Structure 1
Amino acid sequence: MRVIIITSWGHKFCIEVSLKEPVVEIKRKIEQILGAPVASQILVVSGWELLDGLDMEDYPIITEGTNIHLTIKWMGPPLNSYHSSKIQITIKFSARQLHVEVERSETVRSLKEKLQIMDGTPIKRMSLFFSGIELHEDFRNLSEYGIREFSEIIVFLKGMSRVRDELPVRRLSVVVQTSSSLLNAAMIPLEMKDSSTVNDLRQLLLSSKTLPIDEYLFIHKQRIMRDNCSLRWHGVDDGDLLYVFKGAVCRSGY
């Protein structure tokens, strides 16, 4: 059955669980998706905390579509990766500037998409710089580059000749790791172009009947991967491990 995990900072995502599945296994899935250690997670349904030593069938209240609320109890200093408060930053073009509100956890790519909507500049022409350093890894969070409240980001526009000079396509050897409740935690080696999208990866696994027909969530380095973005965009490198779980991102929660 599919349940909905609702985080204390307002995000939602769906995961597939079975009645015999222990609570601690659900927490391990969440750890793969969010990076939150199992020991720091508190799962609650209708005011009842789910205990690690019990299975899903021990909680008859949990059925298809049940909302499970997730709270993170910090084991140390607060981590920026879970801090989703909004900040104001300044975007400087050569002849104008914009004031933009973003999430600390927002990616460089997401910021570029916002700027394209606001300013009309094609994403391929943008080079973003902060404190003299180019924000060249689209999948990185703004906070990973040290961007905070009132930071100034400078936008340089590439010439059209540079836009046409695309990076060469590389072939990657990756391993898809399933969850314990899916194919008994199988490890599936694959070769794909780094320009292939996550949806291409999904279709390859489905068309070859490696995975049964269902909805799946792919994770790379504790980040949920976007269907229409390439492996290169996600920073996938040769030999990397990709995790797959039954489930789907609940868009209404973002």
Structure 2
Amino acid sequence: MDFEIDVIFELSGGISFSIEVNRFETIREVKDKIQNIHHIPISQQYFVFNGQPLQDHLYVYTTPILHRSHIHLLVTAADAANLAPPPPPPPPMHGHSSLAQPLLERQPSTLPSTEMPDNTSLTQRRMTTTVTLSVKMPKSTDRVHIELDRKDTVGKLKEKIAAHEDMQGVPVNRIALQLHSMGQELKDHVALQDYAVVENPEIDVFLKPPLPVAGSRRTHPGKLKVKVLPMLTKERIEIEVFPMDTVSVLKQKLEELQRMLGFRLPQGNGYFFIHKQQDMHEDKTFHWHGVSDGDTIETFDGFIITNPRS
């Protein structure tokens, strides 16, 4: 395996650059490279890959990033001008001010202009700044068309959906969205344009389970509440089980929620559970594993192989 790969970073407005990344580097170390090369503070860098944010602690080899993968880099507009050295300036021109134009390959003003004229029609401008989304509500067979500015966030889209007549009484915090073509949940704070949304994309709406009543620690006497952390995600999913349930019950409940919410799980049951750094056997109970109320259980990609006794 080649440990060094080239990764392409894309910004809004068509700006992009490539850097060499080692598969054993963390996302935080990749950000440090960008800071050294392009002078963007690490605190102002935010990576989005396939619609999912990349956390600083992840190693590149644990993510789906491959050679020549494209990652969306979100930075402030003030920093975008410093991403790469500007192209050679045009020859000085008498009577014109010298304005820096980093990353934009424009012809000198003495040449015939090929840019869109200033009197661009309002219709053309509107088409470039707005997007019409085809939204599938849970209780409707037809898709609903919702128009938003490309710079609007996923959270703004959720507010529009919650206000629709098919969603009356459903709070915004129960709404989960995913691009039909991606199958991954969209994050509230990310702008639509940063998900590379094209004209008339299809958005699917899912409903999260209702939040527990305030002040109640358990919804059923004798049950345990455990927090499940799926591998390679930042999800923290709370699930209730009985102490004498087998671990296979937890897998069933987790996969039901995955179909509803769209978070990542390996296909073909290719994962197992870890509790306090010990792998869990699906045919054993939570009591047998020593699981207590409020404990954290993590998933780990792969299979448990047991050696048959001779």
TM-score by length of 2: 0.33
Higher normalized strand content (fraction of residues): 1
Q: Which has the higher contact order (CA 8 A, sep 6+)?
A: 1
TM-score by length of 1: 0.39
